[in-house]
Chain A
C-alpha cells in the first residue's frame, strides 16, 4: 500500500499560472519535506514541516510556498511558475528529524512549465 502519495503525477502549467501540488501520507510521521529535482541533478530541499513548524531553506525562492493543514497533508504552491521551475517535485516524510531517521519518498510530481 502506498505510504506517501503525490497528486497529480504529471502537471503542465503555463508560465506565471499558479499551481498547487499535493502530498499525503499514511505513516503518521511528524516531518514532511518538499524537494525539487531537475534533470540529472540531485534532489534539492526546498522546505520542511516539523509538525506545524515550517522550516524554509535559505535559498528557496519566495515563489515557493507550502501549507500543512494537518498531519497527513502537505501542499506545495508555486505562485508564478517560471520555465526554470520545470522539474520533478518530491515529497518525503520521516518520523522525526533525528540524523538516523529514514525518509520515505512519494512517487513525485513531474511539473512542466510552458
Chain B
C-alpha cells in the first residue's frame, strides 16, 4: 500500500468552478501535513499547511481527518492560474509526497 495516495486526475474544470482533491495516508503516526503546488517542469512550492482544525487561505481550504487518515483541499472560484499539479505531502519524520493531482482550469 502506498504511503500517500491521491487521485492523479486530470481534473478539468471551467473558470469559477469549485474543485476538491482528496488524499489518504497510511501511517497513523504522521506528524504534519501539507499541500504543495507544482507547475509543469518547476519545483514544488508550499501552498498551505493542513491543521487539525481545518484552515483557509483565500480561495483555498484544507481539512484533515486523522481518524480516517484523510486530507482534502478545496479550491473555490477557480482561476486559470490555478492549473497545476497539487501534491499531498505527509511528514513522517521525512516528507512523503503523493504523486499529485493534475488540475486544468479552462476558460
Contact = CB atoms under 8 A, between A and B. Distances in A.
- Are A and B associated in one complex? yes
B95 A103 contact: yes
B22 interface: no
A67 B32 CA distance: 29
Interface residues of B, number: 20
A102 B99 CA distance: 19
Contacts of A88: 41
A68 interface: no
Contacts of A103: 46, 95
Contacts, number: 43
Contacts of B4: 42
B47 to A, nearest CB: 11
Given A45-B94, A99-B91, A40 B43 contact: no
Range for the number of chain A residues in contact with chain B:
20 to 34
Contacts of A48: 94
A34 B45 CA distance: 15
Interface in B55-107: 87, 91, 93-95, 97-100
Interface string B24-50: 000000011010000001111110010
Contacts of A45: 94-95
B91 A107 contact: no
Contact of B49 (A43, A90, A100, A104): A100
Interface of B: 4, 31-32, 34, 41-46, 49, 87, 91, 93-95, 97-100
15 contacts: A40-B99, A42-B87, A42-B97, A42-B100, A43-B97, A48-B94, A97-B93, A99-B93, A100-B49, A102-B49, A103-B46, A104-B46, A107-B42, A108-B42, A108-B43
